[in-house]
Amino acid sequence: MIVVDASALVNALTFPNRFAPLRERLTGAGSLHAPHLVDSEVQSALRGMVAGRKVSPVLAQHALAELGDLTLARYPAAGLAHDVWALRSRITTYDATYVALAARLDCPLVTCDRKLARSARGIPVEVF
């Protein structure tokens, strides 16, 4: 069981060869968990990548389809609000939502965001 953030999903879905170890971690995790905002964050990242010509619109569309096919338990942010607020001095609200969920579920957070990993104290973080 792991909590996966948007950066990990975007990289795993758009660059499968480059992030093969990450894909293996996701498929071998048993179960994937994320706050509900993960879908919007992935779409926003893909939109930016298409606009910046880092990926094609076709590849982004394929990544979104693959995201939809993932078995990913999504959690409402409202249930994490108190824990997220407690983290406000060292981490963004969006990132804190992933950290709070990982703490609540007592499982590792998987990310490609080194800044998030440095800020996430008290939980195991795996950076790819």
69 in a known ligand binding site: no
- Sign of the Cα torsion 13, 16, 19, 24 reads positive
Q: Which residue has the tokens 């992933």?
A: 98
95 in a known ligand binding site: yes
Nearest to 9, CA basis, from 50, 44, 53, 52 = 44
As annotated, the binding site for Mg(2+) includes: 5, 95
As annotated, the binding site includes: 5, 95
